[in-house]
Copies of this chain bind each other. A is one copy, B any other.
Amino acid sequence: MDLDPPSDTFAMPAPLLPRDQVVMRLLPVFQKHGYDGASLAELSAATGLGKSSLYHYFPGGKADMARAVIERVEQWLEEHAIRPLAGPGAPERRLERMLKALDGFYGGGRNACVLGNMVIGGARQLFQAQLSAVFGRWIDALAALAVEAGVPQAAARLRAQDAVIRIEGALIVAGGLGDPAPFRRTLRRVPGDLLAQA
């Protein structure tokens, strides 16, 4: 007796894709279509999984998928934007690393901001708290960097908020104009405006 393989091996074969990989494939769909515009059909196609398989990963359906994507962006931001800001080296160099990462993430201004997309429509009510936390955390990290660079606390907070405002706004305007240039230009001017000694 007891020759059966452990029950979880039998009942739960290994997934074709680890959950994190699935989330990464969902992301561009929400990035392009927003929450309301993202259909299960497209989410299914993007992951290569049938609708039912998606419901296995995300029992709460589309809302769960979007939540996971926002969490993934949060995690990405933590890793590629916020952590570098607190790392070693001159503040200018750390900020540069964040901007480089953002430039890549947003395709140099050709992609939209997933977080920005989630501010409108049905998503807003669903994810307001989560979005507020992410934006707040991002702003805090930038403000801390500015303080470290010698900017007074109050001014640092305003500058940090302005930096995020500009990045988000630049993605909107770049999308509206169909021209990524405003985004890249905006990224270039962030360091001076955030860190300059007043």
Contact = CB atoms under 8 A, between A and B. Distances in A.
A21 to B, nearest CB: 24
5 contacts: A119-B172, A135-B173, A135-B176, A165-B169, A165-B173
A158 B184 CA distance: 12
Best-surrounded residue of A32, A113, A132, A168 (most CB of chain B within 10 A): A168
Interface stretch (A49-57, A87-95, A120-128, A145-153): A120-128
Given A37-B122, A121-B36, A122-B37, A170 B165 contact: yes
B161 A115 contact: no
B122 A112 contact: no
Interface residues of A, number: 41
Interface of A: 32-37, 112-113, 115-117, 119-122, 124, 128, 131-132, 134-136, 158, 161-162, 164-170, 172-173, 175-178, 182, 185-186
A32 B120 contact: yes
Contacts of A182: 161, 165
Nearest to A113: B172
A77 to B, nearest CB: 13
Contacts of A178: 128, 132
Contacts of A32: 120-121
Chain B CB within 10 Å, residue with most, of A33, A116, A176: A176
A172 B168 contact: yes
